[in-house]
């Protein structure tokens, strides 16, 4: 044992996710509010593309995004924090989750 971190650990993360520290990750998201249904739709500009049924008014789309991600990742909504992009389609979220958690979105 050399005490080094596993180099394949970061290769297991999707391109739109980066590890900040311990159990905190940065998730880059591109949202499309006002869609027919809420769900993921591939990637766009190195971001996870998420279609949201909620309209982009009164913070409804942001709240729906946080709730959707929490449900998909098996987390509590408090574990997901919108860091930037409050009124933009491109958003950065910090997500607190265990090291061995799945990123299957």
Position 88 in a domain: yes
Residue 30: pLDDT over 70: yes
Provide, rounded to the nearest whole percent, the portion of the chain with pLDDT above 90: 77
| Number of domains within the chain | 1
Q: Is residue 3 part of a domain?
A: no
CA distances from 80 to 71, 85, 96 (A): 11, 14, 7
Whether 52 and 34 have beta carbons less than 8 Å apart is answered as: yes
pLDDT at 27 over 60: yes
2 within a domain of the structure (yes/no):
no
Q: SS3 of 45, please?
A: coil
Structural domain that includes position 76: 14-96
pLDDT of residue 1: 42
Over residues 39-71, the pLDDT tens digits come to 999 999 999 999 999 999 999 999 999 999 999
């Amino acid at each position: 044992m050399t005490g080094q971190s596993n180099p394949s650990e970061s290769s297991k993360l999707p391109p739109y996710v980066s590890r900040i520290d311990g159990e905190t990750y940065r998730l880059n998201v591109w949202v499309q509010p006002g869609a027919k249904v809420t769900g993921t739709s591939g990637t766009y500009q190195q971001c996870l593309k998420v279609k949201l049924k909620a309209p982009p008014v009164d913070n409804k789309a942001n709240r729906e995004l946080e709730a959707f991600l929490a449900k998909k990742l098996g987390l509590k909504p408090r574990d997901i924090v919108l860091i930037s992009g409050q009124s933009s389609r491109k958003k950065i979220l910090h997500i607190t989750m265990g090291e061995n958690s799945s990123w299957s979105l």
